Structure 1
Amino acid sequence: MAGARRLGVAVDFSACSIKALNWTVDNVVREGDNLILIIVRNAHGYEHGEMQLWETTGSPLIPLAEFSDPVLMKRYELKPAPEVIDIVSTAAKQKNIVVLMKIYWGDARERLCEAIDHVPLDYLTLGNRGLGTLQRVIMGSVSNYVVNNATCPVTVVKSSVHNY
Structure 2
Amino acid sequence: MAEEKSGKKKVMVAIDDSDCSKHALKWTLVYLKDSLDDSDIILFTAQPPLDLSCVYASSYGAAPMELINSMQENHKNAGLNRLEEGAKICAESGVTPRKAMEIGNPKEAICDAVKKLGVDLLIVGSNGKGALERTFLGSVSNYCVNKAKCPVLVVRAKA
Distance between the aligned counterparts of 2:140 and 2:49, measured in 1?
16
Is the 2:14–2:43 contact (alpha carbons within 8 Å) kept by the matching residues of 1? yes
**Aligned residue among 101, 112, 116 for 1:103:** 101
How high is the sequence identity, in percent, across the aligned residues? 30
**Aligned residue among 94, 113, 135 for 2:111:** 113
Report the CA distance between 1:28 and its aligned residue: 2.2
1:1-164 aligned within 5 A: 2-29=6-33, 30-44=36-50, 76-78=76-78, 79-80=81-82, 84-91=86-93, 93=94, 97-160=95-158
**Segments of 4+ moved more than 6 angstroms:** none
Secondary structure in structure 2 of the residue aligned to 1:121: coil
Number of corresponding residues: 134
- Greater C-alpha Rg: 2
Taking only aligned residues, the RMSD between alpha carbons, in angstroms, comes to 2.5
For the structure 1 residues 112 and 81, does the alpha-carbon distance in structure 2 shift closer, same or farther, using more than 3 Å as the test? Answer: closer
Secondary structure in structure 2 of the residue aligned to 1:80: helix
Determine which structure has the larger helix proportion and give its number: 2
Which TM-score applies when normalising by structure 1?
0.71
Secondary structure in structure 1 of the residue aligned to 2:123: strand
Which blocks of at least 5 consecutive residues in structure 1 are unaligned? Answer: 52-72
Which TM-score applies when normalising by structure 2?
0.73
